[in-house]
Amino acid sequence: KPDNVRVSYGTAGFRGNASGMEYVFFRMGMLAALRSKLKEAAIGVMVTASHNPEHDNGVKLIDPQGEMLAQSWESLATALANAPFPIVQEVLALPEKIGTPCIFLAKIIIKNLRPSSLSLSRAVLDGASAFGATCHDHGLLTTPQLHYILACYNGGDIKVDEEHYYQNYASAFKALLNVPVTSPVTVDCANGVGAAKLTKLAERIGANIIDIVVYNDGQSGKLNENCGADYVKVQQRAPAGLNMEPFHRYASFDGDADRLIYYTLDSDCNFILLDGDKIAALFATYIRDNLKKASINLRLGIIQTAYANGNSTNFLINQQNIEIACTPTGVKYLHEKALTFDIGVYFEANGHGTITVNQECKNKISAAAFDPNKSAEERFAAKKLKLFLDIINQTVGDAMCDLLAVEAILQDKNWSVKEWYRIYTELPNRQAKVQVADRRIIETGDAERKVILPSMLQPAIDELVRKYPSGRSFVRPSGTEDVVRVYAEANTQENADDLAQQVSLAVY
Ligand SMILES: CC(=O)N[C@H]1[C@@H](OP(=O)(O)O)O[C@H](CO)[C@@H](O)[C@@H]1O
Protein backbone atom coordinates (compact mmCIF):
# COMPACT_ATOMS: atom_id res chain seq x y z
CA LYS A 1 0.00 0.00 0.00
CA PRO A 2 1.66 3.20 -1.09
CA ASP A 3 2.01 6.08 1.27
CA ASN A 4 2.30 8.63 -1.41
CA VAL A 5 0.45 9.16 -4.65
CA ARG A 6 1.20 12.03 -6.97
CA VAL A 7 -1.05 13.04 -9.76
CA SER A 8 -0.48 15.38 -12.62
CA TYR A 9 -2.98 16.26 -15.29
CA GLY A 10 -1.60 17.56 -18.52
CA THR A 11 -1.87 17.49 -22.23
CA ALA A 12 -0.70 14.43 -24.05
CA GLY A 13 2.40 13.81 -26.06
CA PHE A 14 2.00 12.33 -29.47
CA ARG A 15 1.65 8.58 -28.98
CA GLY A 16 4.06 8.92 -26.14
CA ASN A 17 2.01 8.55 -23.05
CA ALA A 18 1.60 4.86 -22.74
CA SER A 19 5.27 4.09 -22.72
CA GLY A 20 6.04 7.27 -20.83
CA MET A 21 3.87 6.15 -18.00
CA GLU A 22 4.97 2.58 -18.04
CA TYR A 23 8.41 3.99 -17.78
CA VAL A 24 7.67 6.15 -14.75
CA PHE A 25 6.35 3.12 -12.98
CA PHE A 26 9.09 0.88 -14.25
CA ARG A 27 11.76 3.16 -12.93
CA MET A 28 10.06 3.70 -9.66
CA GLY A 29 9.72 -0.03 -9.31
CA MET A 30 13.42 -0.50 -9.94
CA LEU A 31 14.31 2.25 -7.54
CA ALA A 32 12.09 0.86 -4.91
CA ALA A 33 13.54 -2.60 -5.34
CA LEU A 34 17.02 -1.24 -5.01
CA ARG A 35 16.14 0.46 -1.82
CA SER A 36 14.36 -2.70 -0.59
CA LYS A 37 11.68 -0.39 0.63
CA LEU A 38 8.89 -0.94 -1.77
CA LYS A 39 6.20 0.27 0.49
CA GLU A 40 7.82 3.66 0.81
CA ALA A 41 8.02 4.31 -2.90
CA ALA A 42 6.18 7.27 -4.28
CA ILE A 43 3.69 6.45 -6.95
CA GLY A 44 2.95 8.70 -9.89
CA VAL A 45 -0.26 8.54 -11.80
CA MET A 46 -0.53 10.61 -14.91
CA VAL A 47 -3.82 11.35 -16.52
CA THR A 48 -3.42 12.22 -20.13
CA ALA A 49 -5.53 13.24 -23.04
CA SER A 50 -4.91 11.67 -26.40
CA HIS A 51 -6.02 12.88 -29.78
CA ASN A 52 -5.44 9.52 -31.33
CA PRO A 53 -8.80 7.80 -31.78
CA GLU A 54 -7.01 4.44 -31.97
CA HIS A 55 -5.92 4.72 -28.40
CA ASP A 56 -7.56 2.95 -25.54
CA ASN A 57 -10.48 4.82 -24.21
CA GLY A 58 -10.76 4.80 -20.47
CA VAL A 59 -8.98 3.38 -17.53
CA LYS A 60 -8.13 -0.26 -17.04
CA LEU A 61 -7.01 -2.01 -13.92
CA ILE A 62 -5.94 -5.58 -14.42
CA ASP A 63 -4.68 -7.95 -11.79
CA PRO A 64 -1.65 -10.22 -12.39
CA GLN A 65 -3.92 -13.13 -13.31
CA GLY A 66 -5.35 -10.98 -16.06
CA GLU A 67 -8.69 -10.37 -14.43
CA MET A 68 -10.16 -6.99 -15.22
CA LEU A 69 -10.80 -5.10 -11.99
CA ALA A 70 -12.06 -1.88 -13.52
CA GLN A 71 -12.74 -0.74 -17.04
CA SER A 72 -14.24 2.65 -16.51
CA TRP A 73 -13.65 5.74 -14.49
CA GLU A 74 -16.89 5.15 -12.64
CA SER A 75 -15.69 1.79 -11.36
CA LEU A 76 -12.12 2.87 -10.61
CA ALA A 77 -12.57 4.11 -7.06
CA THR A 78 -14.45 0.98 -5.97
CA ALA A 79 -11.97 -1.28 -7.74
CA LEU A 80 -9.06 0.41 -6.03
CA ALA A 81 -10.71 0.26 -2.68
CA ASN A 82 -11.55 -3.45 -2.99
CA ALA A 83 -8.57 -4.65 -4.99
CA PRO A 84 -6.47 -7.40 -3.50
CA PHE A 85 -2.84 -6.32 -3.90
CA PRO A 86 -0.77 -6.54 -5.98
CA ILE A 87 -2.35 -4.75 -8.92
CA VAL A 88 -0.28 -4.53 -12.04
CA GLN A 89 -1.07 -3.26 -15.45
CA GLU A 90 -1.01 -5.90 -18.16
CA VAL A 91 1.88 -4.60 -20.21
CA LEU A 92 4.28 -4.37 -17.35
CA ALA A 93 6.48 -7.34 -16.59
CA LEU A 94 7.16 -5.92 -13.19
CA PRO A 95 6.58 -8.76 -10.76
CA GLU A 96 9.61 -10.71 -11.96
CA LYS A 97 11.70 -7.56 -11.90
CA ILE A 98 10.94 -6.27 -8.49
CA GLY A 99 10.29 -9.37 -6.45
CA THR A 100 7.15 -9.33 -4.35
CA PRO A 101 5.23 -6.36 -5.66
CA CYS A 102 3.28 -4.23 -3.29
CA ILE A 103 3.15 -1.34 -5.65
CA PHE A 104 0.10 0.08 -7.31
CA LEU A 105 0.46 0.57 -11.01
CA ALA A 106 -2.04 2.11 -13.33
CA LYS A 107 -1.83 2.87 -16.98
CA ILE A 108 -4.44 5.41 -17.71
CA ILE A 109 -5.19 6.71 -21.13
CA ILE A 110 -8.26 8.69 -21.92
CA LYS A 111 -9.51 9.69 -25.28
CA ASN A 112 -9.52 13.23 -26.47
CA LEU A 113 -10.94 16.35 -24.82
CA ARG A 114 -8.32 18.00 -22.75
CA PRO A 115 -10.82 19.75 -20.45
CA SER A 116 -11.71 16.30 -19.11
CA SER A 117 -8.21 15.87 -17.70
CA LEU A 118 -9.07 17.84 -14.60
CA SER A 119 -12.07 15.75 -13.64
CA LEU A 120 -10.26 12.54 -14.51
CA SER A 121 -7.33 13.41 -12.31
CA ARG A 122 -9.86 14.05 -9.53
CA ALA A 123 -11.18 10.54 -10.10
CA VAL A 124 -7.70 9.14 -9.62
CA LEU A 125 -7.16 11.20 -6.50
CA ASP A 126 -10.50 10.01 -5.11
CA GLY A 127 -9.65 6.44 -5.99
CA ALA A 128 -6.25 6.61 -4.38
CA SER A 129 -7.60 8.38 -1.30
CA ALA A 130 -10.26 5.69 -1.00
CA PHE A 131 -7.62 3.18 -0.09
CA GLY A 132 -5.83 5.47 2.27
CA ALA A 133 -3.03 6.96 0.20
CA THR A 134 -1.68 10.45 0.85
CA CYS A 135 -2.11 12.38 -2.38
CA HIS A 136 -0.27 15.39 -3.76
CA ASP A 137 -1.82 17.15 -6.70
CA HIS A 138 0.91 18.82 -8.73
CA GLY A 139 -1.49 20.30 -11.23
CA LEU A 140 -0.40 20.79 -14.79
CA LEU A 141 3.11 19.50 -15.55
CA THR A 142 5.15 18.28 -18.48
CA THR A 143 5.94 14.57 -18.41
CA PRO A 144 9.62 15.16 -17.55
CA GLN A 145 8.68 17.54 -14.73
CA LEU A 146 6.66 14.78 -13.09
CA HIS A 147 9.60 12.39 -13.54
CA TYR A 148 11.89 14.97 -11.96
CA ILE A 149 9.64 15.53 -8.96
CA LEU A 150 9.25 11.78 -8.41
CA ALA A 151 12.98 11.15 -8.73
CA CYS A 152 13.71 13.86 -6.17
CA TYR A 153 11.06 12.42 -3.89
CA ASN A 154 12.45 8.91 -4.18
CA GLY A 155 15.90 10.34 -3.48
CA GLY A 156 14.62 11.67 -0.17
CA ASP A 157 13.87 15.24 -1.21
CA ILE A 158 10.20 15.21 -0.35
CA LYS A 159 9.40 18.91 -0.64
CA VAL A 160 10.23 19.24 -4.32
CA ASP A 161 7.70 21.03 -6.47
CA GLU A 162 7.48 22.62 -9.90
CA GLU A 163 9.25 25.81 -8.82
CA HIS A 164 12.17 23.73 -7.59
CA TYR A 165 12.52 22.37 -11.13
CA TYR A 166 12.79 25.87 -12.64
CA GLN A 167 15.21 27.13 -10.02
CA ASN A 168 17.41 24.08 -10.43
CA TYR A 169 17.76 24.21 -14.20
CA ALA A 170 17.73 28.00 -14.56
CA SER A 171 20.60 28.36 -12.11
CA ALA A 172 22.53 25.47 -13.71
CA PHE A 173 22.19 27.14 -17.10
CA LYS A 174 23.26 30.54 -15.79
CA ALA A 175 26.24 29.02 -14.01
CA LEU A 176 27.50 27.47 -17.25
CA LEU A 177 27.05 30.47 -19.51
CA ASN A 178 29.59 33.20 -19.19
CA VAL A 179 27.99 35.39 -21.85
CA PRO A 180 24.33 35.53 -22.88
CA VAL A 181 23.05 33.57 -25.88
CA THR A 182 23.28 36.14 -28.64
CA SER A 183 20.48 35.15 -31.03
CA PRO A 184 16.89 34.10 -30.36
CA VAL A 185 15.54 30.57 -30.64
CA THR A 186 11.94 30.05 -31.78
CA VAL A 187 10.22 27.11 -30.11
CA ASP A 188 7.07 25.44 -31.43
CA CYS A 189 5.44 24.02 -28.32
CA ALA A 190 2.90 21.90 -30.26
CA ASN A 191 0.06 23.76 -28.50
CA GLY A 192 0.86 21.61 -25.50
CA VAL A 193 1.78 21.99 -21.89
CA GLY A 194 5.37 22.94 -22.77
CA ALA A 195 4.41 26.48 -23.84
CA ALA A 196 3.49 27.75 -20.40
CA LYS A 197 6.30 25.80 -18.73
CA LEU A 198 8.99 26.99 -21.13
CA THR A 199 7.81 30.58 -20.64
CA LYS A 200 8.25 30.15 -16.89
CA LEU A 201 11.68 28.62 -17.27
CA ALA A 202 12.78 31.42 -19.63
CA GLU A 203 11.54 34.01 -17.10
CA ARG A 204 13.60 32.41 -14.34
CA ILE A 205 16.69 32.46 -16.57
CA GLY A 206 16.09 36.05 -17.68
CA ALA A 207 15.45 37.62 -21.07
CA ASN A 208 18.91 39.21 -20.95
CA ILE A 209 20.49 35.74 -20.99
CA ILE A 210 18.32 33.74 -23.39
CA ASP A 211 15.75 34.93 -25.91
CA ILE A 212 13.07 32.27 -26.38
CA VAL A 213 10.18 32.99 -28.74
CA VAL A 214 7.27 30.63 -28.06
CA TYR A 215 5.26 29.53 -31.10
CA ASN A 216 2.09 27.39 -30.96
CA ASP A 217 1.32 28.16 -27.36
CA GLY A 218 -2.12 26.56 -27.42
CA GLN A 219 -4.06 29.82 -27.44
CA SER A 220 -5.66 29.00 -30.77
CA GLY A 221 -4.22 25.85 -32.39
CA LYS A 222 -4.88 22.22 -31.54
CA LEU A 223 -2.48 19.92 -29.77
CA ASN A 224 0.00 18.36 -32.21
CA GLU A 225 -2.05 19.43 -35.23
CA ASN A 226 0.36 20.24 -38.07
CA CYS A 227 3.01 21.03 -35.50
CA GLY A 228 5.18 19.49 -32.82
CA ALA A 229 8.31 17.36 -32.89
CA ASP A 230 6.77 14.27 -34.48
CA TYR A 231 5.15 16.25 -37.29
CA VAL A 232 8.37 18.07 -38.09
CA LYS A 233 10.49 14.92 -37.95
CA VAL A 234 8.23 12.64 -39.98
CA GLN A 235 7.01 15.23 -42.51
CA GLN A 236 10.46 16.81 -42.70
CA ARG A 237 8.89 20.25 -42.82
CA ALA A 238 8.24 23.21 -40.54
CA PRO A 239 5.06 23.50 -38.45
CA ALA A 240 2.22 25.05 -40.42
CA GLY A 241 2.31 28.85 -40.55
CA LEU A 242 5.87 29.31 -39.33
CA ASN A 243 7.76 31.83 -41.44
CA MET A 244 11.34 30.68 -41.41
CA GLU A 245 14.51 32.62 -42.06
CA PRO A 246 17.78 31.01 -43.13
CA PHE A 247 20.12 29.99 -40.30
CA HIS A 248 17.75 31.05 -37.54
CA ARG A 249 17.34 28.37 -34.86
CA TYR A 250 13.92 26.72 -34.64
CA ALA A 251 12.91 23.94 -32.30
CA SER A 252 9.79 21.84 -31.74
CA PHE A 253 8.62 20.10 -28.60
CA ASP A 254 5.99 17.40 -28.61
CA GLY A 255 2.77 17.85 -26.68
CA ASP A 256 4.05 16.74 -23.29
CA ALA A 257 7.51 18.24 -23.84
CA ASP A 258 9.66 15.15 -23.70
CA ARG A 259 10.90 15.37 -27.30
CA LEU A 260 13.00 18.06 -28.95
CA ILE A 261 13.88 18.60 -32.61
CA TYR A 262 15.78 21.55 -34.11
CA TYR A 263 15.57 22.79 -37.70
CA THR A 264 16.55 25.67 -39.91
CA LEU A 265 16.85 26.76 -43.54
CA ASP A 266 20.12 26.87 -45.45
CA SER A 267 21.04 29.76 -47.76
CA ASP A 268 19.00 28.18 -50.60
CA CYS A 269 16.02 27.88 -48.25
CA ASN A 270 16.30 24.09 -48.07
CA PHE A 271 14.77 22.70 -44.91
CA ILE A 272 17.44 21.29 -42.60
CA LEU A 273 16.46 19.00 -39.76
CA LEU A 274 18.59 18.55 -36.65
CA ASP A 275 16.95 15.57 -35.01
CA GLY A 276 17.68 13.39 -31.99
CA ASP A 277 20.70 11.88 -33.75
CA LYS A 278 22.26 15.28 -34.25
CA ILE A 279 21.50 16.40 -30.72
CA ALA A 280 23.11 13.21 -29.41
CA ALA A 281 26.17 13.77 -31.62
CA LEU A 282 26.47 17.36 -30.34
CA PHE A 283 26.18 16.27 -26.70
CA ALA A 284 28.53 13.30 -27.00
CA THR A 285 31.30 15.13 -28.86
CA TYR A 286 31.08 18.02 -26.41
CA ILE A 287 31.39 15.66 -23.45
CA ARG A 288 34.19 13.69 -25.09
CA ASP A 289 36.16 16.87 -25.91
CA ASN A 290 35.87 18.17 -22.37
CA LEU A 291 36.77 14.81 -20.85
CA LYS A 292 39.87 14.85 -23.02
CA LYS A 293 40.75 18.44 -22.10
CA ALA A 294 40.27 17.62 -18.43
CA SER A 295 42.33 14.39 -18.78
CA ILE A 296 39.51 12.35 -17.25
CA ASN A 297 39.17 8.80 -18.42
CA LEU A 298 35.55 7.65 -18.44
CA ARG A 299 33.62 5.26 -20.67
CA LEU A 300 31.31 7.32 -22.85
CA GLY A 301 28.68 5.68 -25.02
CA ILE A 302 25.88 6.71 -27.36
CA ILE A 303 22.76 4.62 -27.48
CA GLN A 304 20.70 4.67 -30.65
CA THR A 305 17.85 2.69 -32.16
CA ALA A 306 17.53 1.32 -35.68
CA TYR A 307 15.92 4.66 -36.64
CA ALA A 308 19.24 6.48 -36.21
CA ASN A 309 20.39 7.80 -39.54
CA GLY A 310 23.14 5.65 -41.06
CA ASN A 311 25.41 8.67 -41.45
CA SER A 312 25.07 9.61 -37.78
CA THR A 313 26.25 6.12 -36.86
CA ASN A 314 29.14 6.36 -39.38
CA PHE A 315 30.10 9.79 -38.08
CA LEU A 316 30.19 8.71 -34.45
CA ILE A 317 32.00 5.41 -34.98
CA ASN A 318 34.36 6.19 -37.83
CA GLN A 319 35.10 9.88 -37.41
CA GLN A 320 34.64 10.40 -33.70
CA ASN A 321 35.56 6.98 -32.40
CA ILE A 322 32.73 7.02 -29.88
CA GLU A 323 31.28 3.73 -28.66
CA ILE A 324 27.74 3.03 -29.92
CA ALA A 325 25.05 0.63 -28.76
CA CYS A 326 21.73 -0.10 -30.49
CA THR A 327 18.55 -1.09 -28.64
CA PRO A 328 14.93 -1.70 -29.60
CA THR A 329 12.65 1.34 -29.91
CA GLY A 330 11.36 2.84 -26.67
CA VAL A 331 13.26 4.99 -24.21
CA LYS A 332 13.08 2.44 -21.44
CA TYR A 333 15.46 0.23 -23.46
CA LEU A 334 17.78 3.11 -24.29
CA HIS A 335 17.86 4.34 -20.72
CA GLU A 336 18.67 0.90 -19.36
CA LYS A 337 21.55 0.54 -21.81
CA ALA A 338 22.83 4.06 -21.09
CA LEU A 339 23.27 3.11 -17.45
CA THR A 340 25.85 0.50 -18.46
CA PHE A 341 28.24 3.32 -19.46
CA ASP A 342 29.96 5.81 -17.13
CA ILE A 343 28.28 8.49 -19.24
CA GLY A 344 25.52 7.39 -21.58
CA VAL A 345 24.02 9.70 -24.18
CA TYR A 346 20.80 8.25 -25.54
CA PHE A 347 18.40 9.62 -28.11
CA GLU A 348 15.72 8.28 -30.35
CA ALA A 349 15.93 9.93 -33.77
CA ASN A 350 12.56 11.53 -32.98
CA GLY A 351 14.21 13.74 -30.35
CA HIS A 352 13.47 11.84 -27.17
CA GLY A 353 16.58 11.40 -25.07
CA THR A 354 18.92 12.49 -22.32
CA ILE A 355 22.26 11.77 -20.68
CA THR A 356 22.91 9.51 -17.73
CA VAL A 357 25.99 9.80 -15.54
CA ASN A 358 26.65 7.54 -12.61
CA GLN A 359 27.23 9.27 -9.30
CA GLU A 360 30.81 8.06 -8.93
CA CYS A 361 31.71 9.62 -12.28
CA LYS A 362 29.92 12.82 -11.42
CA ASN A 363 32.00 12.99 -8.23
CA LYS A 364 35.15 12.31 -10.23
CA ILE A 365 34.39 15.19 -12.58
CA SER A 366 33.54 17.55 -9.68
CA ALA A 367 36.75 16.60 -7.88
CA ALA A 368 38.81 17.21 -11.04
CA ALA A 369 37.49 20.78 -11.17
CA PHE A 370 39.38 21.52 -7.94
CA ASP A 371 42.28 19.09 -8.25
CA PRO A 372 45.54 21.03 -7.51
CA ASN A 373 47.50 18.40 -9.46
CA LYS A 374 45.70 19.35 -12.63
CA SER A 375 46.50 22.34 -14.85
CA ALA A 376 44.18 25.35 -14.87
CA GLU A 377 43.01 24.28 -18.33
CA GLU A 378 42.17 20.78 -17.14
CA ARG A 379 40.30 22.12 -14.13
CA PHE A 380 38.36 24.54 -16.32
CA ALA A 381 37.23 21.76 -18.67
CA ALA A 382 36.17 19.60 -15.72
CA LYS A 383 34.20 22.47 -14.24
CA LYS A 384 32.48 23.15 -17.54
CA LEU A 385 31.56 19.51 -17.89
CA LYS A 386 30.13 19.39 -14.38
CA LEU A 387 28.02 22.48 -15.00
CA PHE A 388 26.87 21.12 -18.36
CA LEU A 389 25.73 17.84 -16.81
CA ASP A 390 23.80 19.83 -14.18
CA ILE A 391 21.56 21.17 -16.95
CA ILE A 392 20.49 17.66 -17.91
CA ASN A 393 17.35 16.02 -16.51
CA GLN A 394 18.79 12.58 -16.01
CA THR A 395 15.48 10.94 -15.16
CA VAL A 396 14.09 11.07 -18.69
CA GLY A 397 14.33 12.93 -22.00
CA ASP A 398 13.24 16.48 -21.28
CA ALA A 399 12.70 18.91 -24.15
CA MET A 400 13.25 22.00 -21.98
CA CYS A 401 16.53 20.79 -20.46
CA ASP A 402 17.77 19.43 -23.78
CA LEU A 403 17.02 22.81 -25.38
CA LEU A 404 19.09 24.58 -22.72
CA ALA A 405 21.89 22.06 -23.22
CA VAL A 406 21.97 22.60 -27.00
CA GLU A 407 21.90 26.38 -26.58
CA ALA A 408 24.72 26.21 -24.02
CA ILE A 409 26.97 24.09 -26.24
CA LEU A 410 26.42 26.25 -29.33
CA GLN A 411 27.21 29.34 -27.33
CA ASP A 412 30.28 27.79 -25.72
CA LYS A 413 31.63 26.61 -29.08
CA ASN A 414 30.63 29.88 -30.70
CA TRP A 415 28.76 27.84 -33.28
CA SER A 416 25.77 28.87 -35.34
CA VAL A 417 23.28 26.22 -36.35
CA LYS A 418 25.25 25.93 -39.61
CA GLU A 419 28.40 24.55 -37.99
CA TRP A 420 26.21 22.13 -36.05
CA TYR A 421 24.26 20.68 -38.98
CA ARG A 422 27.43 20.35 -41.02
CA ILE A 423 29.04 17.87 -38.64
CA TYR A 424 27.59 15.23 -40.95
CA THR A 425 24.99 15.11 -43.70
CA GLU A 426 22.03 12.81 -43.14
CA LEU A 427 21.24 10.11 -45.63
CA PRO A 428 17.86 10.84 -47.20
CA ASN A 429 15.25 8.73 -45.42
CA ARG A 430 11.57 7.99 -45.27
CA GLN A 431 9.26 6.58 -42.62
CA ALA A 432 6.01 4.91 -43.63
CA LYS A 433 3.35 2.82 -41.95
CA VAL A 434 1.36 -0.10 -43.25
CA GLN A 435 -2.01 -1.17 -41.93
CA VAL A 436 -2.20 -4.98 -41.83
CA ALA A 437 -4.67 -7.50 -40.45
CA ASP A 438 -2.45 -8.48 -37.54
CA ARG A 439 0.81 -6.65 -37.00
CA ARG A 440 1.84 -9.05 -34.24
CA ILE A 441 2.62 -11.68 -36.87
CA ILE A 442 5.87 -9.82 -37.44
CA GLU A 443 8.65 -10.72 -35.04
CA THR A 444 11.99 -8.96 -35.11
CA GLY A 445 15.48 -9.53 -33.78
CA ASP A 446 18.89 -7.79 -33.70
CA ALA A 447 17.47 -4.69 -31.98
CA GLU A 448 14.56 -4.67 -34.45
CA ARG A 449 16.87 -4.43 -37.44
CA LYS A 450 15.91 -7.84 -38.86
CA VAL A 451 12.59 -9.61 -39.32
CA ILE A 452 12.57 -13.15 -37.98
CA LEU A 453 8.97 -14.04 -38.76
CA PRO A 454 7.36 -14.41 -41.26
CA SER A 455 10.53 -15.96 -42.58
CA MET A 456 10.10 -14.83 -46.19
CA LEU A 457 9.99 -11.13 -45.33
CA GLN A 458 13.63 -10.41 -44.44
CA PRO A 459 15.03 -11.99 -47.64
CA ALA A 460 12.53 -9.90 -49.60
CA ILE A 461 13.68 -6.73 -47.82
CA ASP A 462 17.35 -7.64 -48.37
CA GLU A 463 16.75 -8.06 -52.07
CA LEU A 464 15.06 -4.66 -52.33
CA VAL A 465 17.75 -2.93 -50.30
CA ARG A 466 20.47 -4.28 -52.61
CA LYS A 467 19.00 -2.27 -55.50
CA TYR A 468 19.69 1.11 -53.88
CA PRO A 469 23.10 2.68 -53.19
CA SER A 470 23.58 3.20 -49.42
CA GLY A 471 20.23 1.46 -48.97
CA ARG A 472 19.01 0.30 -45.57
CA SER A 473 15.53 -0.62 -44.51
CA PHE A 474 13.81 -2.37 -41.64
CA VAL A 475 10.25 -2.94 -40.49
CA ARG A 476 8.73 -3.49 -37.05
CA PRO A 477 5.29 -3.63 -35.54
CA SER A 478 4.56 -0.37 -33.71
CA GLY A 479 4.26 -0.60 -29.96
CA THR A 480 1.79 2.29 -29.80
CA GLU A 481 -0.32 2.13 -32.98
CA ASP A 482 -1.94 -0.68 -34.90
CA VAL A 483 0.49 -0.43 -37.81
CA VAL A 484 3.74 -1.87 -39.09
CA ARG A 485 6.38 0.84 -39.36
CA VAL A 486 8.73 0.93 -42.32
CA TYR A 487 12.01 2.83 -42.37
CA ALA A 488 14.18 3.29 -45.43
CA GLU A 489 17.24 5.31 -46.28
CA ALA A 490 19.28 5.60 -49.47
CA ASN A 491 21.60 7.90 -51.42
CA THR A 492 18.79 10.11 -52.74
CA GLN A 493 15.38 11.11 -51.41
CA GLU A 494 13.74 9.56 -54.45
CA ASN A 495 15.46 6.24 -53.78
CA ALA A 496 14.61 6.37 -50.06
CA ASP A 497 10.94 7.03 -50.92
CA ASP A 498 11.00 4.25 -53.50
CA LEU A 499 12.60 1.78 -51.17
CA ALA A 500 10.10 2.61 -48.40
CA GLN A 501 7.26 2.02 -50.84
CA GLN A 502 8.65 -1.27 -52.12
CA VAL A 503 9.24 -2.55 -48.62
CA SER A 504 5.75 -1.44 -47.56
CA LEU A 505 4.34 -3.55 -50.38
CA ALA A 506 6.43 -6.51 -49.27
CA VAL A 507 5.09 -6.09 -45.74
CA TYR A 508 1.55 -5.89 -46.99
C1 LIG B 1 9.43 5.50 -34.91
C2 LIG B 1 9.01 6.21 -33.67
O3 LIG B 1 9.13 7.42 -33.59
N4 LIG B 1 8.49 5.43 -32.70
C5 LIG B 1 8.02 6.01 -31.46
C6 LIG B 1 6.67 5.44 -31.06
O7 LIG B 1 6.79 4.06 -30.85
P8 LIG B 1 6.27 2.94 -31.85
O9 LIG B 1 6.51 1.64 -31.11
O10 LIG B 1 7.08 3.08 -33.08
O11 LIG B 1 4.82 3.22 -32.13
O12 LIG B 1 6.26 6.04 -29.85
C13 LIG B 1 7.14 5.77 -28.74
C14 LIG B 1 6.54 6.43 -27.52
O15 LIG B 1 6.55 7.81 -27.64
C16 LIG B 1 8.54 6.29 -29.04
O17 LIG B 1 9.40 5.95 -27.98
C18 LIG B 1 9.03 5.70 -30.35
O19 LIG B 1 10.26 6.22 -30.70
The amino acid present at 214, given as its one-letter code, is V
- 31 vs 37: CA distance, rounded Å: 9
Q: What is the per-residue pLDDT across 252-281, written as a single tens digit (0 to 9) for each?
A: 999 889 999 999 999 999 999 999 999 999
Active site residue 119: no
Going from N- to C-terminal start, the domains of the chain cover 5-159, 164-272, 276-404, 429-507
| Residue 304 and residue 326 in contact, taking contact as beta carbons nearer than 8 Å | yes
Provide the pairing of β-strand 68-70 with 107-111. Answer: unpaired
Looking at residue 69, its pLDDT comes to 64
Flag whether 338 is marked binding: no
* The CATH number fitting domain 429-507, selected from 3.30.310.50, 3.30.470.20, 1.20.140.10, 3.40.190.10: 3.30.310.50
Flag whether 258 is marked binding: yes
- Best residue among 236, 327, 329 to mutate for probing ligand 1's pocket (most ligand atoms within 8 Å of CB) is 329
Q: Is the CB of 319 under 6 A from ligand 1?
A: no
Q: Is the CB of 481 under 6 A from ligand 1?
A: yes
Q: What is the per-residue pLDDT across 30-76, written as a single tens digit (0 to 9) for each?
A: 333 323 322 333 333 333 333 333 444 344 555 444 456 666 555 65
Flag whether 313 is marked binding: no
Question: Which is more confidently placed, 145 or 250?
Answer: 250
The answer to whether the 164-272 and 276-404 domains have the same CATH topology is yes
Measure 10 CA to ligand 1 centroid, in angstroms: 20
Atom of ligand 1 nearest to the CA of 19: 14
Q: What is the per-residue pLDDT across 182-235, written as a single tens digit (0 to 9) for each?
A: 899 999 999 988 999 999 999 999 999 999 999 999 888 888 899 999 999 999
Instruction: State if pTM tops 0.90.
Output: no
| Strand residues in 34-124 grouped as ranges (E) | 43-50, 58-62, 68-70, 107-111
- Specify whether domain 276-404 bears CATH 3.40.120: yes
Per-chain mean pLDDT for the chain: 81
Q: What is the per-residue pLDDT across 410-447, written as a single tens digit (0 to 9) for each?
A: 999 999 999 999 999 999 999 999 999 999 999 999 99
Given the residues 50, 117, 312, 504, the one annotated as active site: 50
Flag whether 372 is marked binding: no
Is the predicted pLDDT of residue 19 greater than 60, yes or no?
Answer: no
Q: Is the CB of 479 under 6 A from ligand 1?
A: yes
How many Å separate Cα 69 from the centre of its chain?
31
Question: Which is more confidently placed, 306 or 5?
Answer: 306
ipTM, interface predicted TM-score of the complex:
0.97
Q: Is 226 left (phi over 0), alpha (psi -120 to 50) or beta?
A: left
- Specify whether domain 164-272 bears CATH 3.30.70.580: no
Give the residue, by CA position, lying nearest to ligand 1 atom 13. Answer: 16
Q: Is the CB of 478 under 6 A from ligand 1?
A: yes
